[in-house]
Amino acid sequence: MKIQGGCLCRGIRYEISGPLTDVGNCHCSMCRRFHGAAFGTYAKVGAEHFRWLAGQDLLSVYETRPGIGWAFCRVCGSSLGIPAGGKLAEITMGTLDADPGVRPTEHTFVGSKAGWFEITDGLPQHAERPTGKTQ
């Protein structure tokens, strides 16, 4: 599988050449604010399967703690995911150009979800981050 993605202004482009895993919807207040939506949907990608195609110099990171934060395009503001080691370790599914063939398997941080949003699917819901998960 190869799939490309990028930001709204198309200044940042990336390619994924391997599987996306651990797809989930995060309802924490920080993700809601970062995405301006009820939740953010993320998927993990192995470093060996991620590569920048263009615009890495346009990438900015908002750190919530030293070394931990969210990557975004400093031109258009698109949220791209969670960086690690100069790549994206988790990507925001909304930045993919095509259907990756994977779907969310859970909702996390529903203990702080938006009061105006009702979860209506049958996916497992976790009040916080399940043990062993890094997202």
Is residue 35, in this structure, part of any structural domain at all? yes
Find the CATH number of the domain harbouring 31.
2.170.150.70
Q: Which structural domain, as residue segments, surrounds residue 91?
A: 3-112
Number of domains in the chain: 1
Q: What is the mean pLDDT of each run of 10 residues along the chain (135 residues)?
A: 96 97 95 94 96 97 88 97 93 97 96 96 91 54
Give residue 66's pLDDT: 85
Distance of CA 117 to the CA centre of its chain: 19
Asked whether residue 123 is domain-assigned, the answer is no
**In-domain check, residue 100:** yes
User: Which pLDDT value is given to residue 73?
Assistant: 98
**Does residue 28 lie within any of the structural domains?**
yes
Is residue 9 domain-resident? Answer: yes
* pTM of the shown model: 0.89
Q: What is the pLDDT of residue 41?
A: 97
Q: What per-residue confidence (pLDDT) applies to 135?
A: 47
- Residue in this structure with the two tokens 């198309």, named with its chain if needed: 10
The two tokens of residue 129 are: 């981050």
pLDDT recorded at residue 43: 97
- Residue 133 resides in a domain: no
